[in-house]
Amino acid sequence: MSVITVTTGRFALSFMALSCSSLCSHLSLVRLCGLRTNTITNGLYSPYVSWQPRSCLCRQYSSSTGRRGIGRFVSSRIRWANTKYEGFLKRRFPRFYQLYHTFVEGFKLLFQDAKDVKRIKTKMFSDGIKFQDLPYREMEKLRQFRRDMIKAVPLVMISIPPFANYLVFVLMYFFPRQLLIPHFWTPRQHVEFRGVYHSLRTQHHRPVLKELEHLSCQIKDAQLQGRLKELCAKVQSGANPNVSEILAVRSLFSRPPLGLMTMSVAHMRHISPLVFLTPRLPGFLIGRRLNSHALELLQLDRALSRLGPHQLSDAELRQACFVRGLNSDSVGVYQCREWLSRWLQVSTSLKDSEVSLLLHSIVILSANFPNGPSCH
């Protein structure tokens, strides 16, 4: 780090010297041109002609024009120095350059997202548009930006003091997944970290299914009880249930014991990691956060259904599937579209009071996909 700091200082000094020398030469030229008091035109001396260029020079080198010229000159020198600095890092410290480049590009993406969110919020305020009426991409932008900022604020605060960006580089190197938002991940880290997060999520698949099976014994309606037990048994055996089998038990998830605000705290603690929420909170807070997140996800699904899943790019498609419970990096694009289509068939058929089934569908639909046999 000390070598890099010294090198940075040398670049800064070189930049200042070049800037001052070039600037002085430009100003000297302007001053000499302004002091000319006579002009030879067609071999004749003409005092009138000697006066006119001076007035033109005054207009040409007005204060505002001069400031703009100096500003463009300084900005071009800064870009030149930055390019030299990046070239030096790329040659001498390639691993550090990768971190530096990821850091710079990450902040560009973060600031662009902030501008987009400001534009969306302004439109919502001026036109009286509610969140659930936004287009899918704008809705997803607001949702993801809010989650990212909760994690990014400490990083931004650390970066404010002088030279603190070197501490950020160290954190990026040793704790990228825990401390940084996806803006500051490399493409390889995106795939790797999503795999880690999904493996943490799958640890709660079996407890959720076991709890569903246990709670089915408390259901008084024998027909619905049998359907829920059969659904749990199929998933536990490694099969993929179809949409109709899931929707057949939807009414159970709007009332006790499977309703979102009436289920046990232990059950909610197993569901929270499925949507990347911490389970280490008091029970009433977990329930409120789960309900808010589930309703937001339901609104996103309705907006995505209006847009049409076929309108998503491959990256957007994989991200949408990952948020809803599928390890999208381990399957092909066609399989992602197939899975998302089944998810939307379930999601868009639900009422707001049935969002508990939406959260349980993270396990029911993705636990065995795509390897398990489909049940038709």
Q: Pick 56 or 64 by higher pLDDT.
A: 64
Mean pLDDT of 246-275: 94
- pTM, full prediction: 0.75
Is the bond preceding residue 256 a cis peptide, omega within 30 degrees?
Answer: no
C-alpha–C-alpha distance, residues 231 and 236, integer Å:
9
CA distance 235 to 341: 19
- How is residue 1 annotated by DSSP? -
- Closest by alpha carbon to 361, among 345, 337, 343, 374? 343
Segment 122-175, tens digit of pLDDT: 999 999 999 999 999 999 999 999 999 888 787 778 777 877 777 777 777 788
Residue 25 has pLDDT above 70, yes or no: no
pLDDT at 6 (0 to 100): 33
SS3 of 59-106: the string is: HHCCHHHHHHHHHHHHHHHHHHHHHHHHHHHHHHCHHHHHHHHHHHHH
pLDDT-based confidence at residue 55 (cuts at 50, 70, 90): very low
Tokens matching residue 307: 């847009």
Type and span of the H or E element at 44: strand 44-45
Between 55 and 268, residue with greater pLDDT: 268
Query: Residue 34: is its pLDDT beyond 80?
Result: no
25 or 325: which leads in pLDDT: 325
Backbone torsions φ then ψ of 40, nearest 5 degrees: -95, 120
Q: What is the pLDDT of residues 277-318, one digit of tens each?
A: 999 999 999 999 999 999 999 999 999 999 999 999 999 999
